[in-house]
Structure 1
């Protein structure tokens, strides 16, 4: 009888050990960290998150490195040029005031001139100043001084980004980014930019090569705009 009792005890202990071993190990909660690909941040809050909303398509494209032309490829914006104004900081209320006070009339010239400058610079084989002579400097200045009509503030949106250090785990900082989307009918803006491109005068004549380069960009200006 004693031997049977001992045998049963050993068997019960063995079953107990086996049962413990078969239980899956408790998993640690996932740690928030920067994605292995893409920017070194995660979005931890945004304008419509509390309401179950999502980041709009135009901003998803812009935040992921897409350009204005990528936004314009969306069906909703196929007939307009788009521009994005942005500001950053740690004070959301201050950024809200900036977005509320965003003046399309005042900021449109800066947004357009930046895009005009990028168009000429992108088409240049070397230095834009060498490629286009004084025309380049003057066209950028004229574009920034011009007044543009027909643009409107389409939308605004903010996101709170948590940035990480190089290890992808240590939090570096948290920053609010506020974006304002501006749209303008393509044909309306083309007419106004054409007036700028064709109205620029230079205080020094362009060389034959420079004039050819300027004419080449002007002829296909909106293909890369």
Structure 2
């Protein structure tokens, strides 16, 4: 009889414990969805009855690397030449006058600099001059193989980052999409990396650091 009472007490205690666990504090509600930072008011296809702009448009407004994540751009490196203005005609005219080659080189130099900065390798500080020369060479270069894949214009309403959709500004933007096979671009970039490495004063430590930086560069670019 005592054994039965002990077993019953254990069962009751277990049930009570389970009840305490299940009746714990209510988890906090899921955070509200982020308010989009912008809204497309109209675009190139509006007058043609096209409701939505191409997928690359909204992606490019968040950065060219977002376009590269789209399925249609696998294996491609993307540069978006973007001109902003207060009226459509003036913005289109400015886009026509823009030197795309210079804009591509400028963007590539920024991305090269960011890739160097993000390379997780030791002894990177001793290569600061080398990396600066590579960035400068890229900014002054003219790259071959880029093709203008598309162009579009949009009128955008930007909101302030206060999660209340508070109006900030309206603007027109003309976007030109340039693409190149990553292998083709990497081959051209390799010439800058190797060319500047050839004139860099060598020490065993520097050579090891340079090799590590170059390997990390191609993985992160």
Question: TM-score, with normalisation over the residues of structure 1?
Answer: 0.70
Matching of residue 52 in structure 1 with residue 54 in structure 2:
no
1: CA distance between counterparts of 2:181 and 2:142? 15
Correspondence for 2:84: 88
Q: How do 1:58-137 and structure 2 match up within 5 A? A: 58-63=56-61, 65=62, 67-68=64-65, 70-124=66-120, 130=125, 132-137=127-132
Query: Cα distance, 1:124 vs. partner?
Result: 4.8
Correspondence for 1:40: 37
What are structure 2's unaligned runs of at least 5 residues? 1-31
Q: Deviations over 1:92-139 (max 9, x none)?
A: 1121122233433333221221221111111156997x3622111111
Q: Deviations over 1:59-116 (max 9, x none)?
A: 22233x3551x42233322232111121222021121122233433333221221221
Is the 1:164–1:170 Cα contact (8 Å) retained in structure 2? Answer: yes
Instruction: Give the length in aligned residue pairs.
Output: 188
Q: Secondary structure at the match of 1:133?
A: helix
Stretches of 4+ aligned residues off by more than 6 angstroms: 125-128
Is the 1:86–1:178 Cα contact (8 Å) retained in structure 2? Answer: yes
Matching of residue 183 in structure 1 with residue 179 in structure 2:
yes
151, 154, 164: which is aligned to 2:149? 154
- CA 1:67–1:223 in 2, change beyond 3 Å: closer, same or farther? farther
Q: How do 1:166-181 and structure 2 match up within 5 A? A: 166=162, 168=164, 170-181=166-177
Question: TM-score, with normalisation over the residues of structure 2?
Answer: 0.71
Is the 1:121–1:127 Cα contact (8 Å) retained in structure 2? Answer: no
